[in-house]
Structure 1
């Protein structure tokens, strides 16, 4: 403060938000440590969700149990409003969590994010309630998982973020579902749940080592159902390190 007072009459302060965002997008070891812990808590909450989701349980009950587990596990708070969407609500990318009772034959999307010491993690899993999902639904789920896996295989530093979106969007479009992939492939994450680099069709950002990002391809058939799978990961020089962890089992019965 003393130094500033000496020079304040001779300098003009300005702000450069784009530069700040760019600096924030590359995480240092302490930031990665906090995001890793947030991811561990988030993964633990997803494990709980997979255990308690069943026929006859309300979306709001699942959300409440997740929130309790999150706080007891050391999170500051949810990184965003927890999504537990079932039935037709899964056709909305952000279907929330209401009082609807989950039924046999439902698809359920669970999107969870924890904040730990000010840093966030984010993950999504999609479940089918019952032992025998229809072939078209299980096929679409496996296709989304294959799309996500292919994108992750191509994720490394010094590539254009939009090129990853193009990999997923081309694959989904070639399958005939292009119009139903209605959001960007992913985003950076850190102090805020949505940060640069943006991973969408128009992004001009280049991925850097120690960016922490999400990859979340999804298909949403209006008034029918949706499927999305998401993980938080660290961009490495030639590969990724996945921070969130939960099996990709589709069925719950």
Structure 2
């Protein structure tokens, strides 16, 4: 049994426990997780239907069937063509299921959800995440190795960034973002996992700054937030550095606070602890230093096939940590019109604590 089939069988157990008839997954990370098919939604309907009992079925456009059959362990791949439409393949399948409750992918296009409702008017709809999120949160060994490998690629790229030293002065944020992408590729990454953030000087006070044409100056603090994919799984790390010169007089104090907060958050991670307790451990350090109002986001988020997935490391989430869960710990302090500091590692919950997947220097001086 492949890892993908094992995941599907576990999902079916949870479907039965939830008294739901089937998962209906659009192309995306849920399909990749269950069936080893990586594709994107288009105007032609493509679905993976996983019933609570029996084997799953793909319903796909005929012109896409070959690559899907070659990629997946799922034997039942039903096709439709443009002349007749998807009902020729989908309607008999839904009729055989006669569903009263279907769980659909959160990111399925609205047009396909509405079409599904029209075809199954007696069925109530819920979210596939109710079944899949608890499974996807706990990474199996194949997933853990991919996450480790992705983190190693990001670490190698960050070491290359630091090695630039004062050569980075005069380059733009966009130049450095392109450099990061090139180094991720050189070290074996499959692609950038998200738009690389290079936020210099006052731009660092914007947690989601888009790398632009501002030139790096001596004394600027620069926030680097980037990641890549290996075997579909992502890395996500942040470092805040100064390439040359002396930073804002308050910068070193803030950086020390954020680094201490990040260490406290990681130290809190172990099985049985809740995600909001990890958030609280990091936040208390920043609050005590007087920067609580400048910490404007959650402490972290789950990491896997998606850059942001369950669990959420935030007050009130309350997910109990279990071995195999992977998430970021990334406190930050942002002082508008001056600078920002964020430090982020992905951690993996172990049997007795946490494994940091990112290991590069967390200091600020290059």
> Is contact 1:90-1:226 (8 Å) kept?
yes
> Relative to structure 1, is the Cα distance of residues 17 and 156 closer, same or farther in structure 2, using a 3 angstrom cutoff?
same
Taking the aligned partners of 1:59 and 1:5, their CA distance within structure 2 comes to 52
Residues 6, 92 of structure 1: alpha-carbon distance in 2 compared, 3 angstrom cutoff: closer
Q: SS of the residue aligned with 2:263?
A: helix
**Do residues 28 (structure 1) and 140 (structure 2) align?**
yes
Question: Mapping of 1:93-132 within 5 angstroms?
Answer: 93-132=207-246
Cα deviation, residue 112, structure 1:
1.1
Q: Deviations over 1:124-173 (max 9, x none)?
A: 00012335445521111111111111121111111110011111222211
Tell me the number of residue pairs that the alignment of Structure 1 and Structure 2 aligns. Answer: 251
- Aligned match of 1:44: 156
1:61 aligns with: 175
TM-fit CA distance, 1:10? 4.7
For the residue of structure 1 that corresponds to 2:271, the secondary structure is coil
Q: CA deviation at 1:114?
A: 0.6
Q: Deviations over 1:185-232 (max 9, x none)?
A: 001100000111100112121111110111001000111110000011
Q: Distance in 1 between matches of 2:353 and 2:331?
A: 19
Offset at 1:117? 1.4
Partner of 1:81: 195
Find 2:255's aligned residue among 120, 141, 144.
Answer: 141
Change in CA separation of 1:11 and 1:98 when aligned onto 2, cut-off 3 Å: closer
- Unaligned runs of at least 5 residues, structure 2: 1-56, 58-75, 77-91, 104-127
TM-score norm. by structure 1 comes to 0.93
| Contact 1:189/1:213 (<8 A) preserved | yes
Residues 141-220 of structure 1: matches in 2 within 5 Å? 141-220=255-334
Report the CA distance shift for 1:103/1:18 in structure 2 as closer, same or farther (over 3 A). same
| Equivalence for 1:232 | 346
Q: Shift of the alpha carbon at 1:72? A: 2.6
**Could you tell me whether the CA contact under 8 Å between 1:197 and 1:207 is conserved in 2?**
no
Distance 1:82 1:98 in 2: 11
Kindly tell me: are residues 56 and 156 of structure 1, through their superposed partners in 2, closer, same or farther at Cα, counting changes over 3 Å?
same
Q: Report how far residue 5 of structure 1 moved.
A: 5.3
Which structure has the greater CA radius of gyration? Answer: 2
Is contact 1:75–1:117 with CA below 8 Å preserved after alignment?
no
- Separation of aligned partners in 2, 1:187 and 1:90: 20
What's the RMSD between the two structures over aligned residues? 1.9
Shift of 1:9: 4.9
Q: Secondary structure at the match of 2:250?
A: helix
Q: Which moved more, 1:111-120 or 1:14-23?
A: 14-23
- Cα distance between partner residues in 2 of 1:24 and 1:77: 22
Q: 1:6 to 1:88 in 2, by over 3 A?
A: closer
TM-score (norm 2): 0.65
Unpaired runs of 5+ residues, structure 1, are none
Checking the alignment, whether the CA contact within 8 Å between 2:266 and 2:347 is kept in structure 1 is no
